A and B are shown apart, each in its own frame.
Chain A
């Protein structure tokens, strides 16, 4: 179980802040008429400019710098030339490799205007992340985080995707522990100061089942319902945790 020193955490913080800034810029670019391909190219440019590199590009063969999912696409969708339309629900997920360390962050945004239900659904995913981070403190276990996400999401009538999870992160993009989005308080790895992890609730408006697309990467909801996710990279501190992917 990797534990990161204060020195390591300083680097992670620097990288995390840069990533957060990039995600904020990308969010403002998520508008009607813009394509995923454009967002992908912009991501790569911004990351290189910030002194780092996209974590995802060529990771296990993944061909882009960002994962960009639209509507019923869940995660890992390769950005393409489709242009966003009013009402689309677009999720962007990117990792930045900076000075030897990875940080990972995701947001979901409604393009233009949408209905109350979609807004509530997206807000639920975001709030689930906030509640999960609150459980991330020394002495609690990964299960505390998982249960917090699952309880809140299901209470609101939505479902948690099981096949993709949060994960430790730092020197490698994916490390121990796995941080499931459903589970039981008190189970799993006990959290200690210096642990670094990416927490990412991934939720579906309809059923929890997913299917992988023919390209082998993109994942969609089986019942074609909407999917949303949010993600932050955090470090466990003495008193709780700190979000590394916080915009300055």
Chain B
């Protein structure tokens, strides 16, 4: 039974700099806006072993329905 699909069309993408590595491929990052957020590494980056360390500039994707949780989709 499919509990409905996620709405993938309207993501918000912001740039930030990783400040700290946390367990389970999660990171603290500071956005250009000054906000500090927690973002987790997306599956594709994990799959391709793309390493992210404090100091990296990354692109973080947010759902407009939950701006507190980000997903790192690119290392710049």
Interface residues of A (CB under 8 A from B): 53-55, 57-60, 76, 97, 100, 102, 162-165, 167, 171-176, 178, 210-214, 216-217, 219
Point out the residues of chain B lying under 8 angstroms from A173, CB to CB: 4, 6
Given contacts A212-B38, A217-B69, contact A55 B3 (CB under 8 A): yes
Alpha-carbon distance between A165 and B12 when the two chains are bound, in angstroms = 15
On chain B, the residues within 8 Å of A76 by CB distance are 66, 68-69
Q: Assuming A211-B36, A214-B22, A214-B23, is B7 touching A163 (CB within 8 A)?
A: no
Chain B residues within 8 Å of A174, by CB: 6-7, 63, 65
Chain B residue nearest to A166 (CB atoms) is B65
Known: A76-B66, A178-B64. A216 touches B6 (CB 8 A): no
Report chain A residues within 8 Å CB of B48.
Answer: none
B40, CB-defined interface residue at 8 Å: yes
Give the residues in chain B near A58, CB-CB below 8 Å: 3
Cα–Cα distance between A57 and B1 once the two chains are bound (Å): 13
The answer to whether A212 and B6 touch across the interface, beta carbons within 8 angstroms, is: no
> CB-CB < 8 A to A54: which residues of B?
3
Complex CA distance for A157 and B36, rounded to whole angstroms: 26
**Contact assessment for B65 and A213 in the assembled complex, using a CB-CB cutoff below 8 Å:** no
Nearest CB of B to A175, in Å? 6
Top 5 A-B pairs, shortest CB-CB distance: A163-B67, A174-B65, A212-B38, A97-B3, A219-B68
Once the chains bind, are B65 and A172 in contact (CB under 8 Å)? no
How many A-B pairs have beta carbons closer than 8 Å: the answer is 63
Within B12-43, the residues touching A (CB, 8 Å) are 22-24, 26, 36-40
> Considering the chains assembled together, what is the distance between the CA atoms of A212 and B38 in angstroms?
6
Is B1 a contact of A172 with CB atoms below 8 Å? Answer: no
What separation, in Å, do the CA atoms of A216 and B63 have in the docked complex? 14
Which residues of B lie under 8 Å from residue A212 when comparing CB positions? 37-38, 68-69
A162 closest partner in B (C-beta): B67
Enumerate B38-55 residues with CB–CB distance to A below 8 Å.
Answer: 38-40
CA–CA, A229 and B46, complex, Å: 35
Q: How far is the CA of A76 from the CA of B6 in the complex (A)?
A: 17
Q: Within the complex, which residue of A97, A165, A213 is in contact with B38, where a contact is CB–CB below 8 Å? A: A213
16 further A-B contacts with Cβ under 8 Å, apart from A57-B3, A172-B6, are A59-B6, A102-B4, A163-B66, A163-B67, A163-B68, A164-B66, A164-B67, A171-B4, A174-B7, A178-B64, A212-B37, A212-B69, A214-B23, A216-B26, A216-B39, A216-B69
Please determine whether A216 and B38 come into contact, CB atoms closer than 8 angstroms: yes
Set of chain B residues within 8 Å of A162, measured between Cβ atoms: 67
